[in-house]
């Protein structure tokens, strides 16, 4: 790859990371009775970017099942 192509690719990656950080800054305030309800509410709130939502909401769901609803 040429040097100019690497520089353009680097700029593109930086822009994508900044845009991703910008969209992830908005906190989501959810209240739910169960982990499943919380996952569903989170999914509806973040439906605009499904790949992000499945990671973000899935991580929250796993945390909830492990630490909140553990018996």
Q: Where are the domains of the chain?
A: 3-68
Q: What is the pLDDT of residue 53?
A: 82
Q: What is the pLDDT of residues 7-61, one digit of tens each?
A: 899 999 999 888 877 777 666 665 667 888 888 888 888 888 778 888 888 998 9
Q: What is the pLDDT of residue 28?
A: 60
Contact yes or no for 17/6 (Cβ under 8 A): no
pTM (whole model) above 0.85: no
Residues with Cβ within 8 Å of 65's Cβ and at least 6 positions away in sequence, in order, are 35
Q: What angle do CA 40, 41, 43 make, to 5 degrees?
A: 65
Is 71's pLDDT higher than 80? no
């Amino acid at each position: 790859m040429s040097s100019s192509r690497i520089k353009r690719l680097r700029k593109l990656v930086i822009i994508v990371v900044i845009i991703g950080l910008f969209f992830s800054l908005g906190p989501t305030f959810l209240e739910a009775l169960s982990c499943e309800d919380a996952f569903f509410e989170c999914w509806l709130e973040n439906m605009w970017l499904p790949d992000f939502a499945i990671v973000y909401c899935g991580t929250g769901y796993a945390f909830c099942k492990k630490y909140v609803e553990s018996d």
